Chain A
Amino acid sequence: AQKITQTQPGMFVQEKEAVTLDCTYDTSDQSYGLFWYKQPSSGEMIFLIYQGSYDEQNATEGRYSLNFQKARKSANLVISASQLGDSAMYFCAMRVSSTGFQKLVFGTGTRLLVSP
């Protein structure tokens, strides 16, 4: 079975600081993909960043980077230079080869609050 664990229900950060949102995963598949999504209070799910299990380099997308530590099965999201608009729920998710890379398994999410 696949499982995503996000142990931080809430995080606070001041504007312009960096913040790390934790994500650990569990799967017996050798091939899998890890995703981070942002959900503002309006409800839409916004794709942020992707990391493949065979990618040797950590993924980066603008202010978002993924700290991928395969041996520890962790895929933490790092947001640099936080902005007020970053306040939202953040979900880590995984997709594995044994389900045809279709089904996404989501973590419980972390609510990030950025203060001025």
Chain B
Amino acid sequence: GAVVSQHPSRVICKSGTSVKIECRSLDFQATTMFWYRQFPKKSLMLMATSNEGSKATYEQGVEKDKFLINHASLTLSTLTVTSAHPEDSSFYICSAMTGGSNQPQHFGDGTRLSIL
């Protein structure tokens, strides 16, 4: 149980393109979803927290107009990198959780984004 599907797993596109990444909880309803960015050989950096039906809460330093997050349902959140540039190239990974202080976040497999 507790499977999170993230799609696509890899994207290569030209500078200026907008890229949408989907994160779905397959067998549970996620009250909260999270988007992280991970640089090579580094830890995960939280970008934003999203709750279904409300605006995402962005971490300090993360441009909300650059990284658009939509949490349309209890099983789907999307991250759109708008007008992507080479510096946006990174590994993006989502996670989802139900309620409960002892419940772990369940992670998707990540998306490797490369902007040429």
Contacts and interface: CB of A to CB of B under 8 A. Distances in A.
B105 interface: yes
Interface in B40-92: 42-44, 46, 49, 91
B79 to A, nearest CB: 16
B17 to A, nearest CB: 22
B46 A103 contact: yes
Interface residues of B, number: 22
Contact of A103 (B49, B93, B101, B107): B49
Contacts of A52: 101-102
B27 to A, nearest CB: 15
Contact of B101 (A43, A97, A106, A107): A97
Q: For this complex, into which size category does the number of interface residues on chain A fall? A: 20 to 34
B101 A95 contact: yes
A42 interface: yes
A106 B107 contact: no
Nearest to B6: A44
A50 interface: yes
B16 interface: no
Contacts of B32: 102
Interface string A13-54: 000000000000000000101010100001111110010100
A43 B112 contact: yes
A108 B43 contact: yes
B106 interface: yes
A35 B44 CA distance: 14
Interface of B: 32, 34, 42-44, 46, 49, 91, 93, 95, 97, 100-102, 104-110, 112
Given A97-B101, A104-B34, 10 more contacts: A37-B107, A43-B93, A44-B109, A45-B93, A52-B101, A91-B44, A101-B101, A102-B32, A104-B46, A108-B43
